[in-house]
Amino acid sequence: MKLNKSSMPSANAASKPTEQSMNAGVGMVHLGFGAFHRAHQALITDTLLKEHGGDWKIVGVCNWGAAGQSIEQTGPEASFANQDNLYTVAVGQDETLSLAIIGAVEQVLFSNQVDAILGYMTLPSVKVVSLTITEKGYCHHPATGRLNLEHPQIQHDLAHLGEPHTAIGFLVAALKKRREDKIAPFTPLSCDNLPHNGVVLQNIILDFAKQLDPKLHDWIAAEVSFPSTMVDRIVPQTSTADQQRVNQALGLEDQQSLVTEPFLQWVIEDKFCNERPAWEKTSIDNVIITDDVTPFEKMKLRLLNGTHSAMAYLGYLAGYQTINQTIQDEAYERFIRYLMDIEISPSLNVEGINLGHYKDSLIARYKNSALKHRTWQIAMDGSQKIPPRFLQTIAYGLQHNIESPGLYLALAAWMKYTRGVDERGAVIDVRDPMAEQFADIWLTNESVEEVVEAFLQLSAIFPPKLAKQAAFKANLLHALELLLEKGAKQSVYDFKC
């Protein structure tokens, strides 16, 4: 039987929705309805509905349907609808699975169902619109954090706000409508891996609104709050094998199940312009409401995301398909722990957090064999990830006389990866909004020095002040020459930790 309301009582799950949670009203819209949100914010909200009630059900908006195209009713939206919008989160630790059926989702929509989406976003009952749209979804310059006004989809949305293609366009269109109808604004809540993600989102929204209507810009600036957040949970792309394993354990067929790890953390700035769910009151640990998210986000972006990306590029080039495989190599484990202890930790100061324990837990999480987190998946969209994950820590090191050869090696591995050919001569499917520019750099420059210089001219990635520093350029050149000569695995093996 398929998972749905009728079959759910027979499911082998440790946790199931209650009548109270299933009958709750809609209070949130989430843009970027992917695996991470479903295993993180939606799961926490589901727990809140079961334990404390409230009208906080979620309408999820995914971008599986391209803007303007017809919707395939056999696609993911239909799959959720056929399951009464229920799905299973399987928490895996090596060979053990614990299952929870989530009932916090009211409906799943495609991004081209504009009227339905804006209809929900302008409901007075919707008081939070959250986002996990990945770094590239912000249509911004990663180096500056400001809106890219030359982005084709941004230009479309500025000209056709009634038919937005971007999350930014949807947010501004909905806020504009609420202002016109004298409805209190919702709180836009970024849950993406961006430093100061609330500030970044605020600047992008205001940049967009200023181009559209100065009065709307002023209203948003005065009335809308943009809390920053830090989110943490490893949620790999679900494989067919994962789905089959969950179905067998569940005793039902769930086409939308996913596998994640036991660890979960959500740190939220207490800065809302409307009501919010009391997420911190659930039985789930590590949901923290705070006045300052910055120390937590730096810790996570630099220690977890930074080392994740280092393993993604150096691991993929060495032939490792998953993070678990990569960290099982003792040389890679030593290298990653060295990065954490020697190059990254000096840039962090998080009160009340035992960094040694946090780093131990990261290594243990990476080794979890239940998670098949592909290095290729983490390597995607590097142009958006490199600034907060590598460059900010390297810049701190240059300012404080901290040597960063490991981070330069990881940065050079990203550059080598963008060439589109691995160390065995096989083609790499480079998924990045700047992939064509990277390919052109490698094609049109003969020497390593010219390649490095061309990359450093990409101001959307490399802040000019950093790119012009002689030490930065020399260290990056040395690391790339080393990689091209020895290869990724040997470079890690020879690295003096």
Q: 463 and 457 in contact (C-beta within 8 Å)?
A: no
Contacts 24+ apart (CB under 8 A), 338-341: 338/406, 338/495, 338/497, 339/306, 339/307, 339/310, 339/406, 339/407, 339/410, 340/303, 340/307
CATH 1.10.1040.10 fits 294-494, yes or no: yes
User: Which residues 6+ apart lie within 8 Å of 355 measured at CB?
Assistant: 299, 303, 345, 348
Average pLDDT for residues 470-478, to the nearest whole number? 98
Average pLDDT, stretch 424-452? Answer: 96
The mean of the pLDDT values for the chain is: 94
Q: Which pLDDT value is given to residue 66? A: 41
- Percentage of the chain surpassing pLDDT 70? 97
More confident residue, 67 or 447: 447
Percent of the chain residues past pLDDT 90, beyond the cut: 88
At 408, list the tokens: 């330069």
Residue 272 has pLDDT above 50, yes or no: yes
Phi, then psi, of 89 in degrees rounded to 5: -105, 120
Please report the pLDDT score of residue 78 as a whole number.
Answer: 67
Judged by phi (left if over 0) then psi (alpha if -120 to 50, else beta), residue 368 lies in: beta
Q: Which of 411, 414, 413, 416 is nearest to 395 (CA)?
A: 411
Q: What is the pLDDT averaged over residues 481-492?
A: 97
496: nearest Cα among 390, 364, 342: 342
CA distance linking residue 381 with residue 90, whole number of Å: 27
> How many CA atoms, within 13 angstroms, populate the side-chain half-sphere of residue 443?
7
Residue 421, strand partner residues: 427
pLDDT > 70? residue 384: yes
**pLDDT score for 36:** 95
Q: Write out the two tokens for 173.
A: 């269109």
Q: Within 347-463, where are the H helices?
A: 355-366, 375-379, 382-386, 392-399, 405-417, 435-444, 448-456
Tens of pLDDT along 131-179?
999 999 999 998 888 999 999 999 999 999 999 999 999 999 999 999 9
User: For strand 128-131 and strand 140-141, is the pairing parallel, antiparallel, or unpaired?
Assistant: unpaired
CB 84 within 8 A of CB 108: no
pLDDT band for position 237 (50/70/90)?
Answer: confident
Give the closest residue to 265 by CA, choosing from 344, 335, 191: 191
Structure tokens given for 250: 């569940």
Dig out the tokens for 334 from the structure.
Answer: 């030593």
Question: Dihedral, CA atoms, 437, 441, 442, 448, nearest 10 degrees?
Answer: -140
Q: How far apart are CA 177 and CA 117, in angstroms?
A: 13
Residue 462 near residue 456, CB atoms below 8 Å: yes
Residue 61 CB contacts under 8 Å (≥ 6 apart), including other chains: 29, 30, 31, 32, 33, 108, 109, 110, 111, 117, 170
Query: What is the b/e burial string over 112-129, where b = at least 16 CB atoms within 10 angstroms of the residue's CB?
Result: bbbeebbebbbbeebbbb
Residue 142 has a pLDDT of: 86
Q: List the domain boundaries for the chain.
A: 8-290, 294-494
Instruction: Report pLDDT digits (tens) over 316-358.
Output: 999 999 999 999 999 999 999 999 999 999 999 877 788 999 9
Task: Give the pLDDT band (50/70/90) at residue 72.
Answer: very low
pLDDT of residue 74: 40
**What distance lies between CA 52 and its chain's CA centroid?**
28
- Give 420: exposed, middle or buried? Use CB within 10 Å, 0-12, 13-18, 19+: middle
Cβ neighbours of residue 62 under 8 Å, at least 6 residues apart?
Answer: 32, 33, 34, 76, 77, 108, 109, 110, 111
Q: Please report which confidence band the pLDDT of residue 69 belongs to, taking 50, 70 and 90 as the band edges.
A: very low
Strands 105-110 and 287-290: unpaired
Does 8-290 match 294-494 in CATH topology? no
User: What CATH number should be reported for the domain whose range is 8-290?
Assistant: 3.40.50.720
What digits encode the pLDDT tens for the residues 320-329? 999 999 999 9
Q: What is the pTM of this model?
A: 0.86
Quote the CA–CA distance of 309 and 316 in Å, as a whole number. Answer: 10
CA distance 198 to 196: 5
Mean pLDDT of 415-435: 95
Min mean pLDDT across 53-57, 369-373, 447-451 is at 369-373
71: pLDDT strictly greater than 90: no
**Phi and psi (nearest 5°) for 496?**
-90, 100
Q: What is the CA radius of gyration of the chain?
A: 23
More confident residue, 73 or 277: 277
Run of H or E including 153 = helix 152-159
Alpha-carbon dihedral sign for residues 137, 143, 146, 147: negative
